Structure 1
Amino acid sequence: MIRLHHIPFSRSFRVLWLLEELGLKAELAHYSITDGSLRASEFKAISPVGRVPALEIDGITIYESAAIVEYLTETRPEHGLGRLAGDPERVQFLEWLGYAETQASILASLNMQHLFMGDPTPASPLVLKLEAARLTASLKALENKLSDQEWLLPSGFSAADTMMGFNLFSAPYYVHLERFPNILAYIERIKARPAYQEARKLDGNQEFYKKDFYEVPNG
């Protein structure tokens, strides 16, 4: 039995996509960020901090994205989506897992302030400006990396790309990507992957973003 605890268009999509790349089908347990289901004691017994993803597989439960990615690629090495100890790309692989999560934390901050903090605690325009600038800086570094290679690792597609792919479908709500042609081409390569397409069908509808773009407010 494989069960993925999941919210559409969230970090858990990374795992859903990777499972599809590995040819593994999971039962999806759906949650919402707004209905209190993440705070239920039953879910916190699975994920102590009340966040998705959480993956039940091989008789264990894992609840951090990078840990799930490492576990899946190391226990299913025949698919070649990880980089095991001794591989010359091992350090790069681990760095990209961390980079993707750092970038996702910026997106989470922007999501919290733009989407979920209303009166009497309005978002700070200064903080929003700084966070948007941090996100832009992280995208610039990614743009440079993709100038001479198609995927995050020189040898080709890996599970690091499934970690990063989620970010690049949230970032355009806060940063215009027209200035990043390499990233736009990378996104098109991602969309062309059959496993990505299947995962997107299974993902469900996002319920966070009500606008196409969120400007930094004056203040």
Structure 2
Amino acid sequence: MTLTLHHVQYGRSFRVLWLTEEIGVDRFGGLDVVEYRIGTAGMREGALPRVSPAMRIPAIEHDGLEMSESGAIVQHLVETHAPQLGRAPGDAERPAYLQWIHYAETQASLIEQLNLMMVFLRPPAKPPATVVKLTVARLRQTLRGMEERLAGDWLLPSGFSAADIMMGFNLFAAPYYVKMDEFPRLLAYKARMEARDAHRRAVGREGPQRFYDRDFYPVPEA
């Protein structure tokens, strides 16, 4: 049975899209992507409200299974279809693996706040400069923490894992709010992500991004 992914272009659901390409979409009987535009009536229609309690993406349907929350979906698909991308209980890297999986959401929640303030609240609404500045500073700190701890090619010493896939959305979106020049390791890490064949296939499905209308959003003047 085909896996159905309820998806917003280059949103958190990109994590699931990329993961299915790493696993191989044929393992799921194919992939059907149902795309939404944030803020449109389409998100209140169709299957999304039934599949996702919060009526947000991502959500999946597959062989009678319905799930939402990107981290939960990623962990489930890894455990059932690609254990080599996870770290099983008892593995020495299991604590670090879980921490990075959840760190990705700490970081993504800050990106979400900035998206709301800087992209959705278009003129005449004006986001509060102090709040934007604080949120950008917090996002920068999460990037600095990754920069300081990224010692090898991937987050875990043993190699590529689903923890790296969870960061794909984050490192796509963060440069719209934080200048990345101060993070050379993360820039190289992002380039390694983008060089993976599965990542390229996922980006090919996405096409040019349609969400951000400029390359960088500076903190507004007070």
TM-score between both structures, scaled by the size of structure 2:
0.93
- Unaligned 5+ segments in structure 2 are none
CA distance, structure 2, for counterparts of residue 42 and residue 70 of structure 1: 23
CA distance, structure 2, for counterparts of residue 27 and residue 99 of structure 1: 29
CA distance, structure 1, for counterparts of residue 46 and residue 63 of structure 2: 23
Which residue in the other structure is 1:136 paired with? 140
Alpha carbons 1:18, 1:159 under 8 Å: kept: yes
Q: In the TM superposition, what is the alpha-carbon distance from 1:5 to its structure 2 partner? A: 0.6
1:212 aligns with 2:215: yes
Where does 1:9-20 land on structure 2 (aligned, <5 Å)? 9-20=10-21
1:74 aligns with 2:79: yes
**1:28-71 per-position Cα deviation (integer Å, ceiling 9, x unaligned):** 01111132211236421111211111011232011011100110
51-60 or 171-180, larger mean C-alpha shift: 51-60
CA distance, structure 1, for counterparts of residue 18 and residue 90 of structure 2: 26
Percent identity among equivalent residues? 48
21-30 or 60-69, larger mean C-alpha shift: 21-30
35-44 or 1-10, larger mean C-alpha shift: 35-44
Where does 1:57-96 land on structure 2 (aligned, <5 Å)? 57-78=62-83, 80-96=84-100
Which residue in the other structure is 2:128 paired with? 124
**1:6 aligns to what SS in structure 2?**
strand
CA distance, structure 1, for counterparts of residue 82 and residue 200 of structure 2: 23
Q: In the TM superposition, what is the alpha-carbon distance from 1:198 to its structure 2 partner? A: 0.4
**1:170 aligns to what SS in structure 2?**
helix
**2:85 aligns to what SS in structure 1?**
coil
Which residue in the other structure is 1:159 paired with? 162
CA distance, structure 2, for counterparts of residue 118 and residue 16 of structure 1: 29
Alpha carbons 1:8, 1:205 under 8 Å: kept: no
Runs of 4+ aligned residues of structure 1 deviating over 4 Å after TM superposition are none
Q: In the TM superposition, what is the alpha-carbon distance from 1:173 to its structure 2 partner? A: 0.4
CA distance, structure 2, for counterparts of residue 124 and residue 207 of structure 1: 25
Which residue in the other structure is 2:49 paired with? 44
1:178 aligns with 2:181: yes
- Unaligned 5+ segments in structure 1 are none
- Over aligned residues, Cα RMSD in angstroms? 1.3
Alpha carbons 2:121, 2:127 under 8 Å: kept: yes
TM-score between both structures, scaled by the size of structure 1:
0.95
CA distance, structure 2, for counterparts of residue 137 and residue 171 of structure 1: 12
Alpha carbons 2:88, 2:94 under 8 Å: kept: yes
CA distance, structure 2, for counterparts of residue 59 and residue 19 of structure 1: 18
